[in-house]
Structure 1
Amino acid sequence: MIYLPGHDQPDLAPSRHGSEMSETLVKKHSERAERRISVTVAARLRRLAPLLVAAAMLNSCQTVMDQSYQPSVSPSANPQIVSEVQKNDPRAQMGAREHPRILASYGGEYKDAKTERLVARIAGALTSVSENPQQSYRITILNSPSINAFALPGGYLYVTRGLLALANDASEVAAVLSHEMAHVTANHGIERQKREEAEVIASRVVAEVLSSDLAGKQALARGKLRLAAFSRQQELQADEIGIRTLGQAGYDPYAAARFLNAMEDYSRFMSANSDADQSLDFLSSHPSTPQRIDLAKAHAREFGEEGKVGDNGRAYYLNGIDGLLYGDSPEEGYVRGQTFLHGGLGIRFDVPPDFRIDNKVEAVMATGPGDIAIRFDGVADTQNQNLTNYISSGWVTGLDPSSIKPITVNGMPAATARASADRWDFDVTVIRDRTQIFRFLTAVPKGNIAQLNQTANVLRSSFRHMTPEEAASLKPLRVRVVTVKPGDTITTLAARMMGTDRKLDLFKLINAMPTGASIAVGDKVKIIAE
């Protein structure tokens, strides 16, 4: 977490929150899980996720108003600074209350000293010329591949590492941060909080009238999504203030419009991936329109002609993100083709051919031909429960008790069962590994028992411990900044990309290369590699 107290130097002492996010598959985070219930992932998962998450089979989600996340925020090693920020400031207290929930929804804090210094440098330049230079900011880089940034009252600013990977220079990140700072200085969050309190009351009424806890949860989840965005008027006001701050700080004021275009390009790229989840991305809560981009350019013209005013800070920016984690984090495991691997948990499994895996904070989801769906997650178990009793303990609805039977999966105790709900048949498999119970839930359209058996058998037979050699060789993907050499072309550089089957498209996207773009020897470009 980066702390910017007015003009002081940033305190880069590590936060105590990041380590809490490491048990991703074993300790699920309720708010993001609830958000998934009402906004499912993608075209195909939109049909299947209610089946796998809400229709039941897993009744362990908590309400989005769960009070288990207590505000124990300590972003700085300097207690004097923290106490001064929190002192008699209800806005900072509001931000502190929500901060742990933000961390839970976005995979925790991303800690990297070089990247923190980069963001601190950008934010510090903006703070000195902002409308309220005395406002202190607590900037957290979130450990999420989503493309997002947002603000909470009291100066809590958030930017994801996914956004940093997409941006191509410092001015683009400065444009995003100045926009979010403008929401803080304009007190937009206070207005939103008042609306949210009204929404909470309404959702409680829904729960009481319908006598359904699930109905209340879903109503509240929908309300939170509606309230996640500021009003259009507030967004346009933040654009104007942010671009003015951007230009006064000496950055390229046209970067705001440029990066809005880049994020729209990213959104189109991800929409071609039917399993991609965009519910936590910038454009889901910051709607971008041609009119908004035109207005951004109009505000920028007040500083001069495009290309002739402001610094973009590209050189030091690329140096600052070289080595940035990209895509899946080690805490959440990795997807490699048809295989999911988690070095920390020491486990791996395969999905059948033609299945696509989507690795999320709360679970691993996979979809295959014929509307077959898989969900995999894990829960802590220190009681050493009997697994056949665990399956029948109430978290599976539509369960056929006569189908429960104990088995062994590659030397680990396990149990299986069958269930039915609506138009679907399910296989439920639970496997114990030390103090964890891992759970597979496989769903097929009712009557397709052969497909259900085949899919569940692949999961069970392939689930095993990783070897030490496998765990040691498992490396995350990172942003690598390379220099164009003689003989390099866009095609040859794109061929070096890892983690995607659309290498050329992603290479052009992360380097902001339109159709017909060219490269020259000595240019710096980004690739995704180990």
Structure 2
Amino acid sequence: MKRDSLALYMRHITLAGTLLLLAGCQTILTNNSSSVGGVSPAVTSPVASVEREIGAREHPKIIKSYGGLYSNSKLENMLSKLVGRLVAASPEPSRPYRVTILNSPSINAFALPGGYLYVTRGLLALANDKSELAAVLAHEMAHVTSRHALERAKAKQQSELVSRALKNMVGDKTQAARIKVQNLVTLASFSQVQELEADRLGIETAFRAGLDPFAAGRFLKSMGAYAQFLTGRADNDPKANFLSSHPTTPERIQAATFAARRFSGPNVGNREQEEYLNALDGMLFGDSPDEGFVRGRSYIHPHLRIAFTLPQGYRLENTSKAVLAVAKNGTAMRFDGVSVSRDVPLTNYLTSGWVTGLLTGSIRQQQINGNEAVMATAKAKGWTFRIAVIRIQSATYRFVFATTKPNAAFESNVAETFQSFRKLTAQQAMDFKPLTIKIITAPQAAPATTYAAQMQGSDQPERLFRLLNNVSGNTRIKKNQLVKLVIQQR
């Protein structure tokens, strides 16, 4: 590619933030990254150089945003060998890949240009055999070999150019808005086609590597069930997905099953479950100790020695920046820490401008379990906010509840949560340990409930056990069957 063409190409793909937005689909060198692949081509094209440059630039950002690297030599070795098999069976066996395990409990995998592949330990925990993991990795490899991220970046830029041009040409704001939505739908449809193509190509690669081609549909079903477990919503409403970059889960399962049938019938191809589960044994499950733990409706941070509990009906999610919660009625909660000098009164901090619509007459000071606190109300754009700022020695924490329908139940939930905030004793903090995956061999045939009773750290142990082991209905656990348990680290 000539220099002028390369410059034009770069302008197409270096849109602000575009590639990070497009990466989600969701090397094992030393220090958690492995290079896998064949011999690099003797001649490197300008496009390939640009791809590697993009991947290298965005790689540290991905690691930071997903809680860092997860170090586990057993998993790294297993993953390295599996990717090597897939590369050899892929359309480009000479392409090198760099595979990274991210220290995140989320269920995600994605790729960046240049052969950068990422998989979270949350996804590794959900998969039940090598064929399911291979389906995910081969899907992401297909995105790389098909250069989907770059194509989407170009399509996104073209859509934005068209929208801007039409906005200047069309005087009717309603018509301009309609055109913008049409462009978004077109772009989303373009992305959905790419996802289905990556599924199809990934299934073919996995089959050529000797693995079960039906694993893709099986794991898509597991991911859909797990997402419903976390959110309470099923991904099967086409009206809710017309602007989504991914097809609905039922649509993808159907397409994946159809693609697998091109190669064989069911029960053909290896699953290699035993080796996979043995590599998984002892892996950290759920939240990392550095970010605290969610246990049912409670959040506990042993290092900071703090804890609080939400009322019934809320779902908690721990992220790297904040603890979030949402109720079915749409009420939301955010909890985080903030740096405030001990010399600054909490009232001064509360009125320093970070709260939009603050009602200054609502500010009041009080004690919460012996800790200094200030409470207030804010109203903005149809939302009502209840805010608490709490200080424990040199640390300051914030609660923000938000609702569009304030009522007595909302006020009760807010008060109950605020009053539950407490400082842990040293012994209480030590009693909370991380959760890990334990692989056991079932000593006898028994209902799933028998083994689910051994699960720890969840307020829905049976449901989580069934999801992690892909056990449905009245299916019994067989004698000598390997199963996953979640237990507290000893």
Q: Which structure ranks higher in relative contact order (CA pairs < 8 Å, sequence separation ≥ 6)?
A: 1
Secondary structure (helix, strand or coil) at the match of 1:431 reads strand
Q: 1:96 aligns with which of 56, 61, 65?
A: 56
2:482 counterpart residue number: 524
Tell me, in whole angstroms, the C-alpha distance in 1 between the residues paired with 2:451 and 2:115: 40
What is the one-letter code of the residue matched to 1:430? V
2:141 touches 2:202 (CA, 8 Å); kept in 1? Answer: yes
Q: Report the residue type matching 1:344 in the other structure.
A: H
Aligned partner of 1:472 in structure 2 is: 430
State the match for 1:260 in structure 2. 220
CA distance in structure 1 between the partners assigned to 2:162 and 2:142 by the alignment: 30
Q: Which residue of 2 aligns with 1:248?
A: 208
For residues 469 and 406 of structure 2, the distance between their equivalents in structure 1, rounded to whole angstroms, comes to 48
Q: Which residue of 1 aligns with 2:19?
A: none
Is residue 137 of structure 2 the alignment partner of residue 146 of structure 1? no
Residue 389 of structure 1 pairs with residue 348 of structure 2? yes
TM-score under structure 2 normalisation?
0.75
Look up the equivalent residue of 2:484 and give its one-letter code. Answer: K
Report the AA paired with residue 439 of structure 2.
Answer: V
Residue by residue, what CA displacement relative to the aligned partner does 1:392-435 show, whole Å, maximum 9, x if unpaired?
A: 11111111224434444445443333323355543322123455
Cα contact 1:13–1:75 (8 A) shared by 2: no
Contact preservation (8 Å) 2:448, 2:471? no
Which residue of the other structure, out of 14, 30, 44, is the alignment partner of 2:31?
A: 14
Shift of 1:329: 2.6
CA change 1:346–1:187 in 2 (3 A) is same
Is this contact kept in 2: 1:348–1:465, CA < 8 A?
Answer: yes
Structure-2 separation of matches of 1:381 and 1:121: 49
1:238 aligns with 2:198: yes
Structure 2 residue 304 is the aligned partner of structure 1 residue 345:
yes
SS at 1:480 equivalent: strand
Partners in 2 of 1:446 and 1:169 — Cα distance?
A: 46
Q: Distance in 1 between matches of 2:186 and 2:320?
A: 22
Paired with 1:502 and 1:459, the residues of 2 have a C-alpha distance of 21
CA RMSD between the two structures: 3.9
Offset, 1:498 = 2.9
Match of 2:336 among 371, 374, 377: 377
Does the 8 Å CA contact 1:384/1:435 hold for their aligned counterparts?
Answer: no
Map 1:190-205 onto structure 2 (within 5 A): 190-198=150-158
Map 1:53-202 to 2 at 5 A: 89-198=49-158
1:457 to partner: Cα distance = 4.2
The 2-side partners of 1:386 and 1:458 are apart by: 25
Residue 265 to residue 422, structure 1, CA distance change in 2 (3 Å): closer
Shift of 1:174: 0.6
Q: What amino acid is the match of 1:143? A: N
What are the within-5 Å matches in structure 2 for residues 249-398 of structure 1?
249-270=209-230, 272=232, 285-288=245-248, 292-301=252-261, 303-308=263-268, 310-352=269-311, 355-367=314-326, 373-381=332-340, 384-398=343-357
Alignment CA distance shift 1:264-1:474 (3 Å):
same
Residue 203 of structure 1: CA displacement?
A: 9.8
Counterpart in the other structure of 1:484? 442
How far residue 502 of structure 1 moved from its aligned partner, in angstroms, is: 3.5
Distance of 2:184 and 2:83 partners within structure 1: 28
Once the two structures are overlaid, the 10-residue window that deviates more, 154-163 or 502-511, is 502-511
* 1:420 and 2:383 aligned: no
Deviations 1:361-408 (A, max 9, x none): 432234569765432111234685332221111111111224434444
Shift of 1:164: 1.2
* Structure 1 stretch displaced more, 417-426 or 396-405: 417-426
State the AA in 1 paired with 2:215: A
Checking the alignment, whether the CA contact within 8 Å between 2:449 and 2:462 is kept in structure 1 is: yes
**Normalising by structure 1, what TM-score?**
0.70
Q: Is the 8 A contact 1:12 1:113 kept in 2?
A: no
Secondary structure of residue in 2 paired with 1:93: helix
> Cα offset for 1:342?
0.7
Contact 2:323 2:334 in 1 (8 A): yes
Task: Supply the AA of the counterpart residue of 1:13.
Answer: T
Q: Deviations over 1:108-140 (max 9, x none)?
A: 333322222222221121112222222221222
Q: In structure 1, what is the Cα distance between the partners aligned to 2:280 and 2:339?
A: 35
**Partner Cα separation in structure 2 for residue 290 and residue 370 of structure 1:** 26
The 1:390–1:121 alpha-carbon spacing in structure 2 relative to 1, beyond 3 Å, is same
SS in 1 for 2:477: coil
Once the two structures are aligned, what percentage of the paired residues are identical? 45
Amino acid at match of 1:142: L
Does the residue aligned with 2:89 lie in a helix, a strand or coil? coil
CA contact (8 A) 2:384 2:404 kept: yes
Equivalent residue, structure 2, for 1:66: none
Q: Is the 8 A contact 1:442 1:452 kept in 2?
A: no
Larger Rg: 2
Q: State the Cα distance separating 1:90 from its structure 2 match.
A: 0.9
User: Are the equivalent residues in 2 in contact too, given 1:86–1:92 (CA < 8 A)?
Assistant: no
- Matching residue's letter, 1:507: F
Taking the aligned partners of 1:163 and 1:472, their CA distance within structure 2 comes to 28
| Residue-by-residue CA offset, 1:280-326 (whole Å, 9 max, x unaligned) | xxxx7542566654554454445444324x32111110001112222
